[in-house]
Structure 1
Amino acid sequence: MDPYTEATKINKDAFFSTEPVFEVSKDQWGHFKSIFVTFIDENGHTYLTGADITITDLNQQLQLSVTRATITGCFFFFIASLIAGLYFLQLKRSLSTDARTGFANHVALEYYLKKSTKHRMELAVITINEVEDISSFYGTEVSDKVMASLLNYFQSRLPNDALVFRLATNKIALLHTRGAEQDFDDTINAFNQSIPVLNEPFIYVSLHAGIASGNKLMLIENAHIALQQAKLNNQRIIRYENVFKQVEEQFRYNVKLAKKVKEAFDNNRIVPYFQPIYDTQTKQVTHYESLARMASAQGRIYTPDYFLTVLKRSRMDGLLTRTMFTRCIEQFRKTSISWSINITAQDILDPSLSEFLEQQLRRYPQPNNIIFEFHETEAIAYFSEVKAFISLLKNKGAQVMINEFGAGYSNLSNILKLEVDGLKLDRGLVSQAHTNDDSYMFIEHLVKYAKQLNLDVVAEQVESEQVAEALSKAGITLMQGNHFAPPTPYVPQS
């Protein structure tokens, strides 16, 4: 019951408050924050219940807590930054490294060329010719071992400043900045193709290389151009500098030829020539094969060897088939002459061309006189598509033959599943019939088997009497070639 003379106005007002009252105060004992709660006993006396907290201690604790939180936050931020940095480095490395061999890849090469301050560089792009075959036969694990062996081979034999990259499945790139031209030539030429790259299994490889030097922005493109020339010319190494004029001239020639071909189509100068197929027993022509020719504005006639590559590059092979088929129909519609035309895989895969041929066959008076020829390799490669297409043609009454049989898969069981009417022997087999016993025996056995199956067998490109006699001895009666008659723009009408 001691008097409390230090009572403040807030203390006194608290007696009349129905809610807790707070007060911050300072005195000789310190700096406090207080809470007062009114309490009335059973006799009606009013009391205050109070509690204090020292603010100085609280501030110190808060400051300590903030400091600890800051330190902890910095620590975790550092750890997060470190992890993010390591992850970024790992991601960068994975994007720029070939996972199979551990060597830098094409991304690393492009980045290096972009960031380098060197003005003169030299790049060699090497293609390993057999890698895809190795992969399909032994699996990718073995083909990757082959590439790793070759990458290590080149890395161990080049100067320390040279870089080695795996550009693609079967390509290697060598780069250095000193411009010492002989380094790459010597190293690539020193590779011995007679020594196996792997011993288990024994694997031998061959390579071609294109080398370019100079402006770093053009290195990759120029090296690939040189590589392409090395492949075409079957040379181990070609430098871009040595073929620059030749390549530029070839480019201009291709553009010029593509324009000529387009003009030939526009001016009806793509024309069919016809070569007869003779039955040597009856001495009669069984049918004519239509062969595409291109006439120049001056009247010169070109064979497909001249324009076919450009035509395919320009995606005009479908137009060629339409043009040839239309010309042949005009030529033979009012006759009873049988004739044949070549069909490619691209023709089969073109729905509009299939529809065009179907409509034309429906209108043609004697569709059984038309023979469609498919290349053996394409027939097997696109088996299901070719089978469906052959069914469409045969349903319309046309006949079907497999061309160049014996050049590719020579899988007669699969060919028979296509339900063809005949086989045309590959020109390579035909030309060796009189000199190669294996070729002769193959033809002889094929003819016997084909007769049992009621299949016609035609030998094309018979160029001499010796070949014709050997084929006749082997049982061939249907022959085609310059020995009998060359292709001409007209046929005798009958």
Structure 2
Amino acid sequence: MTTSATDTADTRRALERAQRRAGRERRAREAAEALFESRVRELCALNRRLAELTARLEERVAERTRESAVERERALALAEHDPLTGLANRARYLRVLGDAVRAARDEGRRAVLMLVDVDAFREVNDTFGHEAGDAFLRLFADRLVAAAGEDGFVARLGGDEFAVLYPERADPAAASAAALHAEICQPLAHNGIVLEVSCSAGVACLTADTDDTATLQRDADIALRAAKAAGRRQCVAIDAAMREAVVLRQRLESELAAAIAEGQIRAWFQPIVDLGSRRCIGAEALARWHHPEFGVLEPAVFIPLMEKQGLADALFRAVLRDACVALRPLAARGALRHLSVNVSPSQFRFGTLGADVLAILEETGFPPQVLVLEITEAVLLLELSHTRDTLVQLCAQGARVALDDFGTGYSNLAYLRSLPVHCVKLDKSLTAGVEDDPRAGRLIRAFVQMAGTLELELVAEGVEAAAQAEWLAAAGCVLQQGYHFERPLPAERLEAVFGRDGT
């Protein structure tokens, strides 16, 4: 083979190899492009799926956000509304009250608050059942909202307690509250039953002196308590005298224990006169607080505070000791045969009354046979055997027991059988006007006869007129006390009363 032929064959083989290589590269490229295209299609499909999932997720997030907002609104509604009546509850009331007071104060406007308590609501539940009671509250709430009008904010504070707030009220608060009170105190009908509606209301108005939430709330509370004290179906607006009374009560409450310990509470005495001999033969010891700033205070001012603070024993010991020391000279010479001291029912609960009395009698040297312990039928609400044991212990030493306020309760005769009673004191409600009332007269004569039969001493309280005194004496009730003879007086003035004509 020639050289040229050889070159041609080599060239042809080289070309064939190049062609085969190019074919392999083309097929590899095509395979790679096909694979790439396949992967791209898969990626696009995945992207579309991801986009769909993202859209669904965003939709679900939006839906859950809406649901959360609804649930939050529902939770807020439940947190600020009473579930029974649908009214605002105490939490929302306090927030709205604070906002209203701040706005009224900053803008120089008036805000009026009226607190309402349903009178004797328990009677509705007890008589008709709790279902009727709940229906009553719902009906009452609806009526209160209607009566309050569009500018009134109504809330249920709990139980049968409601509030009506007027953030801005130009007309007189007392007059508008009285009109609203009259409107809501009307009968309600439920399932064929007519339910009487009676409620007490206290009204307070934002003023220059009461320019904060706490003061406005306090004033309305004070007025509401005054309305309750005045009886059912009352609407009372706060005034300066009520505020002063509360301030005084709080101050006296804080000072009472120290006043007893320091001897500020002393015994005063109301004489007991024997119309047979026309002479004073005894006295009832009555507590008087000699306050360094307010002067002599009557028991009605501080006795409720005493009971509230559990100071009955301390006050009793102070009065008894003071009375025994002051009247021991009269007792020693035989002029005093009857010193009455009131005993609170709460003193029988702790078992120290007997020991306290005997210790004071020994300490002061006062004769036990002159001492008369006055009890009321409220002691029957206690454990009677313990009460009897205490009184028997004292009577064994010579002291006597008087049944006070006789005729005002329902179980008085039970005392005469179950307790060692030596004396009965006829309440002034029985003796008032007896000289002009035939039925009252017959009742008094019956008591005189009963006392004689049972060998009980009888004392008429509340004698205020000469004709009354003479009638009682003629009927057989010769022992008497009252303003006709003498008002309560301090020990230094009592001496002159003994030996004086008792008429």
Unaligned ranges ≥5, structure 1: 1-63
CA pair 478-193 structure 1, distance change in 2 beyond 3 A: farther
Query: Identity over the aligned pairs, expressed in percent?
Result: 19
1:326 and 2:321 correspond? yes
CA pair 85-269 structure 1, distance change in 2 beyond 3 A: same
Relative to the length of structure 2, the TM-score reads: 0.65
Could you tell me how far apart the structure 2 residues matched to 1:144 and 1:444 are? 52
Match of 1:268 among 245, 260, 263: 263
Which residue in the other structure is 1:110 paired with? 94
Could you tell me how far apart the structure 2 residues matched to 1:257 and 1:204 are? 37
CA pair 122-394 structure 1, distance change in 2 beyond 3 A: same
Instruction: Say which SS state the counterpart of residue 198 (structure 2) adopts.
Output: coil
Deviation, 1:372, is 1.4
Relative to the length of structure 1, the TM-score reads: 0.66
Match of 1:153 among 143, 168, 179: 143
Which residue in the other structure is 2:111 paired with? 122
CA pair 96-294 structure 1, distance change in 2 beyond 3 A: same
Residue type of the alignment partner of 2:203: G
Could you tell me how far apart the structure 2 residues matched to 1:162 and 1:477 are? 63
Residue type of the alignment partner of 1:469: E
Which residue in the other structure is 1:93 paired with? 78
Could you tell me how far apart the structure 2 residues matched to 1:295 and 1:183 are? 39
Which residue in the other structure is 1:208 paired with? 201
CA pair 217-295 structure 1, distance change in 2 beyond 3 A: closer
Could you tell me how far apart the structure 1 residues matched to 2:125 and 2:436 are? 34
Match of 1:174 among 146, 164, 170: 164
CA pair 301-249 structure 1, distance change in 2 beyond 3 A: closer
Residue type of the alignment partner of 1:293: R
CA pair 168-426 structure 1, distance change in 2 beyond 3 A: farther
Residue type of the alignment partner of 1:384: L
1:131 and 2:120 correspond? yes
Deviation, 1:410, is 3.0
Which residue in the other structure is 1:304 paired with? 299
* 1:392-407 → structure 2 map (5 Å cutoff): 392-397=390-395, 398-407=399-408
Q: Give yes or no for contact 2:174–2:237 (8 Å, CA) kept in 1.
A: no
1:222 and 2:219 correspond? yes
Deviation, 1:92, is 6.8
Could you tell me how far apart the structure 2 residues matched to 1:471 and 1:367 are? 29
Could you tell me how far apart the structure 1 residues matched to 2:461 and 2:70 are? 69
Could you tell me how far apart the structure 1 residues matched to 2:431 and 2:415 are? 20
Match of 1:391 among 382, 389, 392: 389
* 1:54-69 → structure 2 map (5 Å cutoff): none
Could you tell me how far apart the structure 2 residues matched to 1:283 and 1:414 are? 33
Could you tell me how far apart the structure 1 residues matched to 2:138 and 2:437 are? 42
Could you tell me how far apart the structure 1 residues matched to 2:448 and 2:71 are? 70
Could you tell me how far apart the structure 2 residues matched to 1:346 and 1:271 are? 21
CA pair 115-125 structure 1, distance change in 2 beyond 3 A: closer
Deviation, 1:290, is 1.5
Q: Give yes or no for contact 1:348–1:386 (8 Å, CA) kept in 2.
A: no
Deviation, 1:202, is 5.9
CA pair 113-465 structure 1, distance change in 2 beyond 3 A: closer
Could you tell me how far apart the structure 2 residues matched to 1:420 and 1:202 are? 47
Q: Give yes or no for contact 1:423–1:455 (8 Å, CA) kept in 2.
A: yes
Deviation per residue, 1:54-77 (Å, 9 max, x gap): xxxxxxxxxx9xx99xx99x99xx
Deviation, 1:371, is 1.8
Deviation, 1:283, is 5.4
Deviation, 1:465, is 1.9
Which residue in the other structure is 1:374 paired with? 375
Deviation, 1:236, is 5.3
CA pair 138-161 structure 1, distance change in 2 beyond 3 A: same
Could you tell me how far apart the structure 2 residues matched to 1:129 and 1:473 are? 50
Question: Which structure has the higher relative contact order (CA within 8 Å, separation 6+)?
Answer: 2
Q: Give yes or no for contact 1:158–1:183 (8 Å, CA) kept in 2.
A: no
* 1:33-44 → structure 2 map (5 Å cutoff): none
Deviation, 1:173, is 0.7
Number of equivalences = 430
CA pair 323-113 structure 1, distance change in 2 beyond 3 A: same
* 1:330-345 → structure 2 map (5 Å cutoff): 330=325, 331-332=327-328, 335=332, 337-345=337-345
Residue type of the alignment partner of 1:197: P
Q: Give yes or no for contact 2:202–2:222 (8 Å, CA) kept in 1.
A: no
Which residue in the other structure is 1:189 paired with? 179
Deviation, 1:323, is 0.8
Residue type of the alignment partner of 1:466: A
Could you tell me how far apart the structure 2 residues matched to 1:263 and 1:143 are? 46
Deviation, 1:321, is 1.1
Deviation per residue, 1:174-200 (Å, 9 max, x gap): 124344445884364254489752464
Could you tell me how far apart the structure 2 residues matched to 1:117 and 1:324 are? 48
Q: Give yes or no for contact 1:340–1:373 (8 Å, CA) kept in 2.
A: yes
Deviation per residue, 1:412-453 (Å, 9 max, x gap): 354446415133222222223234445444434444444444
Aligned-CA RMSD value: 5.2
Could you tell me how far apart the structure 1 residues matched to 2:440 and 2:158 are? 39
Deviation, 1:119, is 1.7
Q: Give yes or no for contact 2:462–2:483 (8 Å, CA) kept in 1.
A: yes
Deviation per residue, 1:353-411 (Å, 9 max, x gap): 665335446877753432211233x335xx1246523421222323322322333x333
Could you tell me how far apart the structure 1 residues matched to 2:386 and 2:82 are? 45
Q: Give yes or no for contact 2:343–2:374 (8 Å, CA) kept in 1.
A: yes
Deviation, 1:485, is 4.6
Q: Which has the higher helix share?
A: 2
Instruction: Say which SS state the counterpart of residue 341 (structure 2) adopts.
Output: strand
